[in-house]
């Protein structure tokens, strides 16, 4: 699916329907893509949109922990809604079993022996799961196996 076209259509729909939260998040994605295009000369395509949406989700998940510590359930709820909007621009997420299979396959190919091999393993896994899985989870799983 062409996520970039979907983004443009969703921005127009959100403006027409008056969905302020959704419109704000969608404009943030578009601005992040334009900034990456200017800063890093990255092409405005689905891959860039997935990168921007993934980073947005990651920062929001970190914020949720802070909001919970501050007893701000209103902000937790708002942030969860934002994550839901961002998630609609990611490809279908891999299941835990699928992630474990990928990790198993890379471990068989690379045969890592210590934490020194972490970069090599992550380098092989990242292109296979980018945008389809939480990279923090992947990293933690690899660390468990290497220890």
Same domain, 72 and 117: no
Residues 6+ apart with CB under 8 A from 56: 25, 28, 29, 32, 82, 86
Same domain, 22 and 61: yes
Supply the pTM of this predicted model. 0.83
Query: 80-84 contacts: CB < 8 A, separation 24 or more?
Result: 81/21, 82/21, 82/25, 82/56, 83/57
Spatial distance between the Cα atoms of 20 and 34, rounded to a whole number of angstroms: 21
Which structural domain, as residue segments, surrounds residue 137?
96-146
Same domain, 42 and 110: no
Give the end of a domain, one of 50, 66, 87: 87
- The pLDDT tens digits of the residues spanning 78-132 come to 999 999 999 999 999 999 999 999 999 999 999 998 999 999 999 999 999 988 9
Spatial distance between the Cα atoms of 71 and 57, rounded to a whole number of angstroms: 21
- The pLDDT tens digits of the residues spanning 23-66 come to 999 999 999 999 999 999 988 899 999 999 999 999 999 999 99
Give the DSSP H/E element, type plus range, for residue 140: helix 135-146
């Amino acid at each position: 699916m062409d996520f970039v076209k979907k983004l443009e259509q969703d921005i127009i729909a959100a403006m027409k329907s008056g969905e302020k939260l959704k419109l704000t998040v969608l404009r943030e994605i578009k601005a992040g893509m334009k900034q990456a295009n200017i800063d890093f000369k990255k092409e405005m395509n689905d891959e860039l949109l997935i990168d921007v949406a993934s980073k947005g989700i990651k920062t929001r998940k970190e914020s949720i922990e802070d909001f919970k510590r501050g007893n701000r359930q209103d902000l937790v709820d708002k942030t969860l809604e934002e994550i839901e909007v961002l998630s609609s621009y990611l490809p279908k997420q891999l299941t835990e079993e699928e992630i474990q299979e990928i990790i198993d396959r890379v471990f068989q190919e690379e045969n890592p022996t210590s934490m020194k091999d972490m970069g090599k393993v992550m380098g092989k896994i990242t292109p296979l799961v980018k945008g389809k899985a939480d990279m923090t989870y992947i990293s933690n799983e690899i660390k468990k196996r290497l220890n």
